[in-house]
A and B are shown apart, each in its own frame.
With several copies, the nearest count.
Chain A
Amino acid sequence: MSTMDTITMLIPLKAEYVSIARLTVSGIASRMGFDIDTIEDIKVALSEILGKFIEKKSGTGRVNVDFQCLEDGISIKFKISDQSIPELFDNDTDKFALAIISSLMDEIEIEKQGDNSITMVKKLGKAV
Chain B
Amino acid sequence: MFELNTESNDGKNVVISVKGEIDIYSAPDFKESLYQSINDVQQNIILDFSDLSYIDSMGLGILVGALKRVREKDRNITIKNPKSTVRKLFRITGLDKAFIIEEV
Contact = CB atoms under 8 A, between A and B. Distances in A.
Interface of A: 15-16, 18-19, 22, 37, 40, 43-44, 47-48, 50-51, 54-55, 93-94, 96-97, 99-100, 103-104, 128
B60 interface: yes
Secondary structure at the A interface, as helix, strand, loop or mixed, is: helix
A100 B23 CA distance: 14
Contacts, number: 51
Interface of B: 21, 23-25, 54, 56-58, 60-61, 84-85, 88-89, 92-94
Contact of B58 (A37, A51, A104): A51
A44 B88 CA distance: 11
B23 A96 contact: no
A94 B94 CA distance: 14
A99 B56 CA distance: 12
A104 B89 CA distance: 9
